[in-house]
Amino acid sequence: METLHGLVEHIVYHNENNGYTVLALMCQGDEVMCTGTMAMVNEGEYIKAEGDYVEHATYGRQFRIASFSIEAPEDLFSIERYLGSGAIKGVGPSLAGRIVKKFKEDSFRIIENEPERLAEVKGISERKAQEIYQQFHDKQDMRQAMMFLSKYGISTAYAVKIYNEYGSRLYDIIRENPYQLAEDVSGIGFRLADDIARRAGIGMDSDYRIRSGVIYVLLQASMNGHVYLPVEELKRQSAEILEISEEAVERQLMNLSIDKKIIIKKIEEQSVVYASTYYYLELSTARMLKNLNVKYEVSLREAEQQIRRIEAEEKISLDEMQKTAVVEAARNGVLVITGGPGTGKTTTINAMIRFFENEGLEIRLAAPTGRAAKRMTEATGYEAQTIHRMLELSGGPEEQAGSHFERNEQNPLESDVIIIDEMSMVDIHLMNALLKAVMPGTRLIMVGDVNQLPSVGPGNVLKDIIQSHCFNVVMLTKIFRQAMESAIIKNAHKINDGEDIDLEVKTPDFFCLKRYQAADIQGVIIALVRDKLPNNVGASVNDIQVLTPMRKGELGVERLNKLLQEYLNPKDETKREKEQGDRLFREGDKVMQIKNNYQLEWEITDRYGIPVEKGVGVFNGDMGRVQEINFFAEQMTVEFDEGRKIVYPFAQLDELELAYAITVHKSQGSEYPAVVMPLLTGPRMLFNRNILYTAVTRAKKCVAIVGSEQTVAQMIHNQREQKRYSGLAVWLNEV
């Protein structure tokens, strides 16, 4: 380790998120380039830096700072320079000069201890003197806080957030109840808080710890799609992660309930526990949906006449159920249309659009994902948006809390009819947000396939709405002749009905290559994706999607991605790589965003690189390609659909994953020209009908199964699904 003392001459780069800084330091007349994690450092400051010189491939000799501290400037010139550096807002070089001229070496002491005397300087009012003191003080406060927090192993990025949230209260909070952080500071969860608590010497049986742990378990459950947990399940899981007894957990449930952090309810004779927010989310969703369900007087005779006209114009003859769907859509505030592939959902939507258009009503179409919206637009010739966009999502500084929808109860959508496609993917959060923006008097038509996997986010919205029996539901069951010609659609329906499919016949659009060793299967997958399928289906290698039920194992997402990356985008001197934990990203890689982020900004540029459109938000399941890795700026640029480019600071790369292979769960709502699916062995919970059905229905032109035909048969007959705890159907019947 070496020590440098010097003046921060220039800050070349500073990443707000993680504190990573590149700066030029003047040390005895020499300029030294330094890099390091520094939350708070300003041009014009003196620092003492400890670290080592390293040789950087591109930027040459640099000093890598391991730790640093701010030193008081020694001479008048330096004091003046610091004050005038912009570190204190409202003090520029000339004012700094006047302050130093007046107070000389005493300048800092005066600012700190007798700030009122600053007003003796020309151009400084009493108020300004106070402001200068405040800023000077805040800076020192913050520095002190950073030092304190670093003792608890808290990174600079979190330290800044904690400081901004609590100010000087942070000392008490860290010492007494660091679990508070998990509630207030985005990005800090129970695990991290627990770690801090351990360092602060807080006991395993602390009340705060147990309460925070219980909330954490409920939050984890919501990430697995549950809106609540049965009380027994909650006690068991909490006791397990907290390593304490279930009785100790039970004692805190009452306290949490008194504090309104949780709500305990009875559902079908069973005691269940909700995190409060989820309870109110479900309850208000139920209320709003019920309020929307008004009946409209529509004469059946006139409606049928209308439909006949549409049939003639569109040269189509609607099936009885399709006609019923159109009539019911006109008569009800809320309508659900559900059916499998090829049962005429899109055709029905089209007929409805014509029907409402003829009535002079204003219509809006939307779907939960960008891809689904795009497909809806193509199929109807009517512009469809994502639900997020329709509700005018606008980002804010804090995840979730700061971002909000411009369209809500105060500013509802002005539309007579709203048609939502791919409803199975809508979770309780999005449903609630949607309903807030839809006023009674608007017709809401929800279209989807209830046999698809439920939404990734919590809730079982479509299924619950259907099972509540509170609304009109039209089930389309007939598969149209044209659709019948597709082996994909035929087999999808067989799978859904629990019938075996014939894997002996190989058709170009549906075949099974039998292999019984994982290594063989891997080899076949590579050959299919890289060599065979692109030509056969007329798509690029990147459009062909490997879907697997699992994450782990030789045929799980993680292993397959490493393998496919090696073969489809191999190491190459011209492609930069970035390792992040156990992931390796390479320029050109196919990647997927794995959580909703309402803040990340995207930009679409024209061919000269000039931005033509900007926006915020990237969502769980969005796929893109790594365009550039930039080590100097510590960031990676990913290009998503429609050319939306997003710059990820390296610290945020954990929101991305390779996507050559993805789980079937993540594929919901997307369609691919060809789907390749390894199916050998795996847990029964994942190798079920629902998963197979969802995977098969993602393919437009070709399904290639590689593995064991017996596994396929077992999946068709395994109706076991992962249970989802959600109460929407119950509240729909109670409100």
Ligand X SMILES: Nc1ncnc2c1ncn2[C@@H]1O[C@H](COP(=O)(O)OP(=O)(O)OP(=O)(O)O)[C@@H](O)[C@H]1O
User: Would you list which residues are annotated within the binding site for ATP?
Assistant: 342-346
Q: Closest approach of Cβ 503 to ligand X, in Å? A: 22
Residues 661, 639: Cα–Cα separation, whole Å: 18
The beta-strand segments (E) located in 387-539 are: 393-394, 404-405, 417-420, 443-448, 472-476, 510-514
Stretch that binds ligand X, among 193-201, 254-262, 316-324, 403-411 (CB under 6 A): 316-324
Q: Closer CB to ligand X, residue 451 or residue 569?
A: 451
| Exposure of 30 in the CB half-sphere (CA atoms within 13 A) | 8
Does residue number 318 form part of the binding site for ligand X (CB under 6 A)?
Answer: yes
- CA dihedral for 270, 274, 278, 284, sign (positive or negative): positive
The beta-strand segments (E) located in 572-714 are: 577-580, 583-586, 590-593, 597-605, 611-618, 623-630, 635-640, 645-649, 656-658, 661-663, 672-679, 699-707
Stretch that binds ligand X, among 26-34, 166-174, 312-320, 524-532 (CB under 6 A): 312-320
Q: Closer CB to ligand X, residue 70 or residue 353?
A: 353
Q: Closer CB to ligand X, residue 476 or residue 626?
A: 476
Q: Closer CB to ligand X, residue 239 or residue 537?
A: 537
Structure tokens at 334: 């809320």
CA 233 to chain centre: 27
Does residue number 382 form part of the binding site for ligand X (CB under 6 A)?
Answer: no
Q: Closest approach of Cβ 370 to ligand X, in Å? A: 17
Q: Closest approach of Cβ 328 to ligand X, in Å? A: 16
Of residues 44, 73, 178, 344, which one binds ligand X by CB under 6 A?
344
Does residue number 700 form part of the binding site for ligand X (CB under 6 A)?
Answer: no
Amino acid at 192: L
For the segment 709-728, give every residue that binds ligand X (CB under 6 A): none
The DSSP call for residue 455 is P
Does residue number 699 form part of the binding site for ligand X (CB under 6 A)?
Answer: no
Q: Closest approach of Cβ 698 to ligand X, in Å? A: 11
Contact between 290 and 735 under an 8 Å Cβ cutoff? The reply is yes
Structure tokens at 246: 């279930």
Does residue number 343 form part of the binding site for ligand X (CB under 6 A)?
Answer: yes
* Residues that constitute the known binding site: 342-346
Q: Closer CB to ligand X, residue 208 or residue 480?
A: 480
Q: Determine the size of the site formed for ligand X (CB under 6 A).
A: 16
Q: Closer CB to ligand X, residue 480 or residue 511?
A: 480
Phi-psi category of residue 167: left, alpha or beta, with phi > 0 → left and psi -120 to 50 → alpha = left
Amino acid at 133: Y
Residues 521, 518: Cα–Cα separation, whole Å: 5
Residues 159, 146: Cα–Cα separation, whole Å: 6
Q: Closer CB to ligand X, residue 339 or residue 553?
A: 339
Of residues 44, 339, 624, 682, which one binds ligand X by CB under 6 A?
339
φ, ψ dihedrals at 434, nearest 5°: -60, -50
Q: Closest approach of Cβ 298 to ligand X, in Å? A: 21
Does residue number 369 form part of the binding site for ligand X (CB under 6 A)?
Answer: no
Query: What are the C-alpha distances in Å from 297 to residues 93, 331, 438?
Result: 75, 6, 20
Tokens 């809390």 correspond to what residue?
A: 401
Of residues 341, 454, 617, 727, which one binds ligand X by CB under 6 A?
341
Of residues 51, 178, 225, 342, which one binds ligand X by CB under 6 A?
342
Stretch that binds ligand X, among 295-303, 340-348, 387-395, 462-470 (CB under 6 A): 340-348
The 10 Å Cβ neighbour count of residue 173 is 18
For the segment 436-495, give every residue that binds ligand X (CB under 6 A): 480, 482-483
Of residues 180, 322, 386, 561, which one binds ligand X by CB under 6 A?
322
Stretch that binds ligand X, among 318-326, 508-516, 569-577, 650-658 (CB under 6 A): 318-326
Contact between 619 and 388 under an 8 Å Cβ cutoff? The reply is yes
Binding site for ligand X (CB under 6 A): 316-319, 322, 339, 341-347, 480, 482-483
